[in-house]
Structure 1
Amino acid sequence: MSATAKFRENVEGLRRIAWDVAAKVVDPEVPVLTIEDLGVLRDVRIADDGVVEVDITPTYTGCPAMGVFTMDIETELAKAGFGEVRINTVLSPAWTTDWLSEEAREKLRDYGIAPPAGKASRRALFGDDEVTCPRCGSKNTEKVSEFGSTACKALWRCCDCAEPFDYFKCI
């Protein structure tokens, strides 16, 4: 194997390690989800100068978690022995709930938050026809407020078990 090939292999190995470290950073608003679960983690590279570059996409413009994500990614990579880290906020393409992994949807349900009911589309802007209660599984639910505990969630109530719950909006 040539020296160049060995160098590339080493860089790719470091990139995978850096990805795995960054991928474990949790969402401060929904601590059962990682930035990888959310689809917020877009790319990790090792630049020619050895800097770890991490691309993240906000779930929506002005998301307050982005500052926490940045700080936590830098902290976790430093703990793992990486030196300088550069965090890039990537706005295009815009994040969509379609980027949530199936595991993320299951984690949301288990945590008591109803995952997005459908695919992101223009129709999603007009509300969801059917949101399933994450507690009892009933489809007999009603929207209480367009805004829940955070701007990306709405407050719903189950008409069968009478429990309120957050619904992660489809965007």
Structure 2
Amino acid sequence: MFSDLAALASNPRQSLSQILNFALVLSTAFMMWKTLSVIADSPSPIVVVLSGSMEPAFQRGDLLFLWNRDKAAQVGEIVVYNVKGKDIPIVHRVVRRVEVVDKKTGSRDMRLLTKGDNNVADDTELYARGQEYLDRKEDIIGSVRGYVPCVGYVTILLSEYPWLKKVMLGLMGVMVVLQRE
């Protein structure tokens, strides 16, 4: 193992090639993410279900695909939204739509009330202080258009067990070294 590391250090061209290949993989993944973001008109076109609040529709660990081009969310539609001041998106169903008219400008805005299928009460307790409804334009990340079951569970494991990230990185490093032999 150490002889492989010494060989990499003695051959800078091979080391640079591996670094550039790794950078290419990362930049490709980033470009794919950004392309999906533009196509879906969502800052986060793919999210993972983190809790059981939407069971039986979605289970913890399901990977959701979002679309944000349809601006008029309907009652019954499942949306993903961000709460002001919190980083974790929430996946819940729209249970009420309220149209608000600005008295000064006459413009109409859509407000939404959401609830998890597995929850007893609506989400008003989850919203920011003083907020009764979600603003469709500001708070909603996207509407769920598809999902893949269980695929996102790796993300949950890595966030709940930080030591697992180190183990996985170590295993990848060992695999790279063993691949050289």
Q: Same fold (TM over 0.5)?
A: no
The structure with higher relative contact order (CA 8 Å, sep 6+) is 2
- Higher-Rg member (1/2): 2
